[in-house]
């Protein structure tokens, strides 16, 4: 566990059901909050090791995505998925997650309707695993 009381532990209770339900009730605001928290958390977890920084989700959502007609969102999600997957491997987790997961489940999987839900579940699970490990080992 983190021994420094000034550092708040990262969230580890993300779930698909809560994500969908609260996003519907709040007209998408909860989804923005969760994705913002994920972009902030991955920077906190991985930046000391990979020296990269993921763009804040609100900047992407409100500025970059509209200007690039959505292409910025695809690039951001591709990079985020690869970064999460690399950090899972670096920390020794046997959980398959990468940009391939994003393209196969979120993009191509949208043709079978459930694909984006599977991707979201995998994303939330991966971030729960990383956050829990970060809370324990830093």
Which residue, 105, 122, 130, 123, is CA-closest to 50? 130
Asked whether the beta carbons of 40 and 19 are under 8 A apart, the reply is no
CA neighbours closer than 13 Å in the CB half-sphere of residue 73? 12
pTM for the predicted model, two decimal places: 0.93
Per-residue DSSP letters for 69-120? TTHHHHHHHHHHHHHHHHHHHHTT-----SHHHIIIIIIGGGGGSSHHHHHH
**129 within domain boundaries:** yes
Q: Into how many domains does the chain fold? A: 1
**79 within domain boundaries:** yes
**69 within domain boundaries:** yes
Per-residue confidence band for 6, with pLDDT thresholds at 50, 70 and 90: very low
Structural domain boundaries enclosing 39:
16-47+54-137
**94 within domain boundaries:** yes
**Each residue's pLDDT tens digit, 48-89:** 999 999 999 999 999 999 999 999 999 999 999 999 999 999
């Amino acid at each position: 566990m983190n021994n420094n009381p000034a550092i708040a532990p990262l969230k580890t209770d993300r779930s698909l059901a809560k994500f969908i339900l609260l996003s519907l009730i709040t007209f998408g605001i909860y989804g923005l909050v969760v994705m913002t928290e994920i972009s902030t958390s991955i920077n906190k977890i991985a930046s000391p090791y990979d020296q990269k920084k993921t763009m804040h989700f609100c900047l992407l959502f409100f500025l970059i995505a509209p200007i690039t007609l959505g292409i910025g969102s695809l690039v951001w999600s591709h990079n985020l998925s690869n970064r999460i997957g690399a950090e899972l491997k670096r920390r020794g987790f046997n959980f398959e997650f990468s940009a391939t997961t994003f393209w196969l489940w979120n993009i191509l999987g949208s043709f079978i309707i459930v694909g984006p839900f599977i991707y979201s579940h995998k994303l939330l699970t991966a971030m729960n695993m990383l956050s829990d490990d970060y809370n324990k080992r830093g």
